[in-house]
C-alpha cells in the first residue's frame, strides 16, 4: 500500500485570492502537482523547489489527457511521493470528476483528502454583481452542466423539466450548446423575456458580461464573440444585478491548452 496521500484540491474560479488557506498550505509543501488547464499560473509560484508538475488540462478543441491516464498517474505518483496535490479549477466535486478520481484512488488503497474550493457557478456571477439567489427573485437554484457530450452513457439533461422546477439555473460548460439549451428552456415554459447572462472568464482579467433576454441570448453571444470558459445564468436573479458590489477581476495568466 502506498504511503502517499493525494489531496483533491479546489483552486477556485481563477482569482488567486480566492484560494483557501488549506489549499495554499498544501501547495507550499507538496512533492507533486497534477493540475487542470483552468488553474492560474500564479498558483504554481507557491510550489516548493523540486516539486514535480504534471499538467493534465482538458479544453474543447485541444488535445487533452484522457481521464484513465490521469487516474493512473495519480496512483503512480502516490507510490513515489508523500504529498500529491491534484489541483482542479473551482471545486473538485462539482463537475470536476473529483468523485471518480477519489473512488479510483481508494480502490487502489491510496489515502485521499478533499479540499473544497470556491466554484465558478457562484463566484463568476458574484464578480458580475449577480446574486444566484434572491428573496424577491428566486429561492432555488440549480447547478447543471451544459456539456452534453461529457458522458454518452448518461441520460441528457431534462432542460424542459428544469424550466419548470427551478427559479434559477447556473449552467457550466454550456456555451457550445447555448442555442439548443435556450430553445429547450423556452419549450419548457420559460418566457422569451426571461433575464439571462453569460459571464466569460469570471473573476479574472478578460472577464466579460453579456445580459440579454433568454430568447436572444445565443444570437447575442455569437454577435459579441463570447468564448469559453463561461458561466450562464438564467432567471429573474439576473435582473437583481448590482454592479456596485462586483469586485474587480484579477490579472492572472492561464496555462496554454495542450497540443
For residue 22, pLDDT over 50 is answered with yes
3-state secondary structure of 181: helix
Q: Cα(12)–Cα(248) distance, rounded to whole angstroms? A: 16
The candidate with the shortest Cα–Cα distance to 113, out of 97, 98, 128, is 98
For residue 2, pLDDT over 60 is answered with no
The confidence score (pLDDT) of residue 27 equals 98
Q: How confident is the model at residue 179 (pLDDT cuts 50, 70, 90)?
A: very high
Q: Is 88 a catalytic residue?
A: no
Share of the chain above pLDDT 90, in %: 86
Of the residues 36, 88, 91, 254, only one is catalytic, namely 36
Q: By the 8 A CB rule, do 259 and 58 touch?
A: no
The confidence score (pLDDT) of residue 138 equals 86
Q: Cα(59)–Cα(108) distance, rounded to whole angstroms? A: 28
Q: How confident is the model at residue 258 (pLDDT cuts 50, 70, 90)?
A: very low
Counting every residue, how long is the chain? 259
Taking only the tens place, the pLDDT of each residue in 72-108 is 999 999 999 999 999 999 999 999 899 999 999 999 9
For residue 257, pLDDT over 90 is answered with no
Q: Cα(207)–Cα(217) distance, rounded to whole angstroms? A: 17
Residue carrying the nine cell digits 457562484: 122
Q: Which residues contact 168 (CB under 8 A, 6 or more apart)?
A: 132, 133, 137, 138, 140, 141, 142, 233, 234, 235, 236, 237
Residue carrying the nine cell digits 428552456: 185
Of the residues 15, 88, 173, 254, only one is catalytic, namely 173
Q: Is 173 a catalytic residue?
A: yes
Taking only the tens place, the pLDDT of each residue in 119-138 is 999 999 999 999 999 999 98
The candidate with the shortest Cα–Cα distance to 233, out of 90, 136, 127, is 127
The confidence score (pLDDT) of residue 259 equals 43
Residue carrying the nine cell digits 473538485: 92
Going along the chain from its start, the domains and CATH numbers come out as: 5-115 (3.40.1010.10), 120-245 (3.30.950.10)
Judged by average pLDDT, the poorest of 53-67, 186-200, 229-243 is 53-67
For the residues 41-64, what does the mean pLDDT come to? 84
DSSP symbol at 138: B
Taking only the tens place, the pLDDT of each residue in 26-35 is 999 999 999 9
For residue 1, pLDDT over 70 is answered with no
Mean pLDDT (the chain, rounded): 92
Q: Pick the residue with more confidence: 239 or 39?
A: 239
- Give the burial string for 163-191 (b: 16+ CB within 10 Å, else e): beebbbbbbbbbbbbbeebbebbbeeebe
Residue 249, C-alpha cell as written in the block:
477581476
DSSP symbol at 62: S
The confidence score (pLDDT) of residue 117 equals 97
Residue carrying the nine cell digits 461529457: 150
Of the residues 15, 58, 88, 91, only one is catalytic, namely 58
The candidate with the shortest Cα–Cα distance to 105, out of 70, 77, 75, is 75
Q: Is 1 a catalytic residue?
A: no
Amino acid at each position: 500500500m502506498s504511503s502517499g496521500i493525494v489531496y483533491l484540491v479546489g483552486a477556485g474560479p481563477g482569482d488567486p485570492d480566492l484560494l483557501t488557506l488549506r489549499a495554499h498550505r498544501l501547495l507550499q509543501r507538496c512533492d507533486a502537482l497534477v493540475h487542470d488547464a483552468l488553474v492560474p499560473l500564479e498558483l504554481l509560484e507557491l510550489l516548493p523547489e523540486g516539486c514535480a508538475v504534471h499538467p493534465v488540462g482538458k479544453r474543447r478543441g485541444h488535445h487533452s489527457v484522457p481521464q484513465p491516464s490521469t487516474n493512473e498517474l495519480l496512483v503512480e505518483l502516490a507510490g513515489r511521493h508523500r504529498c500529491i496535490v491534484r489541483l482542479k479549477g473551482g471545486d473538485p466535486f462539482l463537475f470536476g470528476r473529483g468523485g471518480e478520481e477519489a473512488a479510483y484512488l481508494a480502490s487502489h488503497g491510496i489515502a485521499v483528502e478533499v479540499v473544497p474550493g470556491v466554484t465558478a457557478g457562484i463566484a463568476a456571477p458574484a464578480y458580475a454583481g449577480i446574486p444566484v439567489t434572491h428573496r424577491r427573485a428566486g429561492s432555488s437554484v440549480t447547478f447543471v452542466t451544459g456539456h452534453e457530450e461529457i458522458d454518452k452513457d448518461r441520460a441528457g439533461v431534462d432542460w424542459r423539466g428544469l424550466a419548470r422546477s427551478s427559479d434559477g439555473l447556473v449552467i457550466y460548460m454550456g456555451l457550445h450548446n447555448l442555442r439548443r439549451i435556450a430553445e429547450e428552456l423556452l419549450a419548457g415554459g420559460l418566457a422569451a423575456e426571461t433575464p439571462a447572462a453569460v459571464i466569460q472568464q469570471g473573476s479574472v482579467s478578460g472577464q466579460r458580461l453579456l445580459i440579454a433576454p433568454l430568447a436572444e441570448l445565443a444570437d447575442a453571444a455569437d454577435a459579441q464573440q463570447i468564448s469559453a470558459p463561461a458561466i450562464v445564468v438564467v432567471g429573474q436573479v439576473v435582473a437583481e444585478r448590482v454592479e456596485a458590489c462586483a469586485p474587480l477581476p484579477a490579472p492572472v495568466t492561464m496555462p496554454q491548452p495542450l497540443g
